[in-house]
Amino acid sequence: MDRRPAAIYDAENRWGRDDDFFLAAVDETPAARVLDLGCGTGRLTLALAAAGHTVTGVDPHRAALDAARAKPGADRVTWIEGTAEVLPEAAYDVAVLTSHVAQEIRAEDGWRRTLADLRRALVPGGRLVFDSRDPAARRWERWTPHDSRRRVALPDGTAVEAWTELTEVRDGLVSFVHHYLLPDGDELRSPGTLRFRTEAELRADLATAHFTVERIHGGWGREPVGASDDGELVVIARAAD
């Protein structure tokens, strides 16, 4: 992620209903010690700090953290380059994984280790809040050049033509490529693969990691699973004592 992809990412991923949800969920614990795991360029991280929480943003990508550190209010946040393995013990009241970061952890053993690390990093009774797309909604079927074509306006006034190309669906893994056509004719490509886990799988993994699931919503309006076009599994769990 050099400066151009970081700028495109921020322009394409502006504040949305998901951010409203996560901010409201964290605010249920006033003045919380918050972990934002997979914080990226810090959109929500900075808002959590501005709301009065003590926030730590963790991400394995240095370029993303560099972009986050350059934003106003970044000095209120503790930024750490790394993964859940670097987290201290019993240091946080709330942990969030947003923008489907949970699905970026594709290997099942890596996902289980991440949940174990999160349980270790949370105080007893601390909350874990994250989103994962519901595989039953089959949202990847919309990831075609025709259905996904969009225009991304950058801060300098230029625009980028973007679209997503689905490349493979197999064994719970969905692979794709984001295409970005720049005004100068250059094309940037950002490939990715996401793990889609069912509600039952998420519940089982959380139980194994000693979390108690409080609620799983199907959308950002707190709808039941399957009742929203958002096609989400929004999980709120609590670390067992």
pTM of the model: 0.95
Domain range 3-134+196-239, its CATH number among 2.40.50.140, 3.20.20.70, 3.10.150.10, 3.40.50.150: 3.40.50.150
**Structure confidence at residue 3 (pLDDT):** 60
Domain range summary for the chain, segments of one domain joined by +: 3-134+196-239, 136-194
**Structure confidence at residue 79 (pLDDT):** 98
What Cα–Cα distance (Å) separates residue 17 from each residue in 65, 154, 230? 23, 21, 10
What Cα–Cα distance (Å) separates residue 221 from each residue in 48, 103, 117, 204, 234? 20, 21, 29, 25, 10
Q: Cα torsion at 181, 185, 43, 217 (round to 10°)?
A: 0
Structure tokens that stand for 130 in this block: 């994250």
Which runs of consecutive H residues, i.e. helices, occur in 83-142? Answer: 101-104, 108-121
C-alpha–C-alpha distance, residues 160 and 185, integer Å: 10
**Structure confidence at residue 143 (pLDDT):** 97
Per-residue pLDDT for the chain (241 aa), expressed as one digit of tens each? 456 788 899 999 999 999 999 999 999 999 999 999 999 999 999 999 999 999 999 999 999 999 999 999 999 999 999 999 999 999 999 999 999 999 999 999 999 999 999 999 999 999 999 999 999 999 999 999 999 999 999 988 899 999 999 999 999 999 999 999 998 899 999 999 999 999 999 999 999 999 999 999 999 999 999 999 999 999 999 999 8
